[in-house]
Amino acid sequence: MTSQNPVFIPGPTNLPEVLRKAIDMPTIDHRSPVFGEILKPALDGVKKVLKTTKGQVFLFPATGTAGWEVALSNTLSAGDKVLAARNGMFSHRWIDMCQRHGLDVTIVETPWGDGIPADRFAEILKGDTGHQIKAVLATHNETATGVKSDIAAVRRAMDDAGHPALLFVDGVSSIGSMDFRMDEWGVDVAVTGSQKGFMLPPGLAITGFSPKAIEAIGQATLPRTYFDIRDMMGSYSKNSFPYTPPVGLINGIKVASDMLLAEGLENVFDRHHRIAEGVRQAVSAWGLKLCATSPKVYSDTVSAIYVPDGFDANQVVGHALKTYGVAFGTGLGEVAGKAFRIGHLGQLSDVLALSGIATAEMVMADLGLPVKLGSGVAAAQEHYRQTAVGTQRKAA
């Protein structure tokens, strides 16, 4: 009898009622004009969420991982050099994808818990006087560690070096939840998925391409058909799709964008920050540490929390599911077994965040961790109370 418990994984998020209905559509003819009335506002809505007026948006029936491949295969050729930092499981996987596509990756190994070292990027880019590096890859929010990187700083590093490489940003767990500025930060390809800030089920890779990235297509020789944005561009111009589109999900993107924009993106970001900060207050009250090493890299969509030495973070996650019917995230890669994660993105309310915090407390007490029942809850409650006035905006 626990199916109504919210999930506390860092995506897919809990589904807002309105979006659940938006995607639950009877079949329509995707070759009829009705489809254009869904596709066009969906694309326009995503542009606004990405804060781009110059870029173009492409939606692929796929996941965020495919979005990485869309970025690479449309703009690069085998043997091309790219620059990336490895500071968590998702940056690691993107690097792996580059290598499997025959790209030559300059990897900046970075402590898991730190953000992208923009200064190190600057040095490397300055040293690349021949401009062999064709693309810089940046993971905006490392979902594995709850670490946010400073994309504006990466852009500055590129500009300071006068380097013409493209800037690809994985915003899978940031876009629509945390501050993201495609045009202002000079992002050439932005990647996200339907199941995070857009609060939908997985099934759409969402990508934004700058004019410069679109220009790069001509020279790119990595093979692609399903992920070829030329086919998308051609079809979009006729309000159609190069293959059968998932109409319901695209309608979901339209409605989700409307929701986010009606609430106001800055309000959406503030709301996420408020919920996240409550979770962090709880962590602090428990005497535990975040993977994220400093406030400036704290993620507002997910917190990865170290358990004390001698305890197994995977047990926390397993026990929570089995005993209380609550899903937290396990640690991944280097922090597997050492940390567990509380996802707090999407429409999660303060009230539901408290149920997650309370559950984590019960679980840790059950497993013998030195955590006082109610302590984290009280810290979070205090934060939510202090910040409650005027923060309960209605978006759905």
By CB under 8 A, the residues from 193 to 232 that bind a copy of itself are: 193, 195, 201-203, 222-228
Helix or strand or coil: residue 311?
coil
Instruction: List the x/- string, 93-132, binding to a copy of itself by CB under 8 A.
Output: ---xx--xxx------------------------------
Cβ proximity to a copy of itself, 101 vs 148, nearer residue: 101
Task: By CB under 8 A, tell whether 326 contacts a copy of itself.
Answer: yes
- Among 12, 176, 252, 331, which residue sits at the site for a copy of itself (rule: CB under 8 A)? 12
Q: C-beta of 221: minimal distance to a copy of itself in Å?
A: 9
Task: By CB under 8 A, tell whether 368 contacts a copy of itself.
Answer: no
Q: C-beta of 334: minimal distance to a copy of itself in Å?
A: 17
Cβ proximity to a copy of itself, 153 vs 354, nearer residue: 354
Cβ proximity to a copy of itself, 152 vs 321, nearer residue: 321
Q: Give just the sign of the alpha carbon dihedral 363, 366, 370, 371.
A: positive
Q: C-beta of 186: minimal distance to a copy of itself in Å?
A: 26
- Among 42, 187, 358, 369, which residue sits at the site for a copy of itself (rule: CB under 8 A)? 358
Q: C-beta of 279: minimal distance to a copy of itself in Å?
A: 13
Q: C-beta of 162: minimal distance to a copy of itself in Å?
A: 31
- Among 213, 276, 354, 369, which residue sits at the site for a copy of itself (rule: CB under 8 A)? 354
Q: Which 47-66 positions form the footprint of a copy of itself (CB under 8 A)?
A: 60-66
Bridge partners (DSSP) listed for residue 78: none
Length of the chain as a residue count = 396
Cis previous bond, 16, omega within 30: no
Q: Long-range contacts for 317-321 (Cβ within 8 Å, ≥24 apart)?
A: 319/363, 319/366, 319/367, 320/359, 320/360, 320/363
Instruction: List the x/- string, 331-350, binding to a copy of itself by CB under 8 A.
Output: ----------------xxxx
In sequence order, the 6+-apart residues with CB closer than 8 A to the CB of 246 are 61, 203, 204
Instruction: List the x/- string, 257-276, binding to a copy of itself by CB under 8 A.
Output: ------x-------x-----
The stretch among 41-49, 79-87, 237-245, 287-295 that binds a copy of itself (CB under 8 A) is 237-245
Binding-site size for a copy of itself (CB under 8 A) equals: 104
Q: Which 275-314 positions form the footprint of a copy of itself (CB under 8 A)?
A: none
Q: C-beta of 222: minimal distance to a copy of itself in Å?
A: 7
- Give first-to-last CA distance, the chain, whole Å: 26
Identify residue 256 by its one-letter amino acid code.
A
- Gyration radius of the chain's alpha carbons: 21
Instruction: Please state, in angstroms and as integers, the Cα–Cα distance from residue 72 to each residue in 326, 359, 386, following that order.
Output: 37, 41, 45
CA distance 222 to 392: 48
**Residue 100 contacts residue 153 (beta carbons within 8 Å):** no
- Among 130, 237, 309, 351, which residue sits at the site for a copy of itself (rule: CB under 8 A)? 351
- Among 84, 182, 247, 369, which residue sits at the site for a copy of itself (rule: CB under 8 A)? 247
Q: C-beta of 87: minimal distance to a copy of itself in Å?
A: 19
Q: C-beta of 155: minimal distance to a copy of itself in Å?
A: 26
Q: Long-range contacts for 211-220 (Cβ within 8 Å, ≥24 apart)?
A: 211/54, 211/55, 212/166, 212/188, 213/71, 213/74, 213/75, 213/166, 213/188, 213/189, 214/56, 216/74, 216/75, 216/76, 216/166, 217/74, 217/75, 219/77, 220/73, 220/74, 220/75, 220/76, 220/77
Q: Give just the sign of the alpha carbon dihedral 366, 145, 380, 355.
A: negative
Identify residue 355 by its one-letter amino acid code.
S
In sequence order, the 6+-apart residues with CB closer than 8 A to the CB of 160 are 122, 126
- Among 48, 270, 378, 387, which residue sits at the site for a copy of itself (rule: CB under 8 A)? 378
Task: By CB under 8 A, tell whether 28 contacts a copy of itself.
Answer: yes
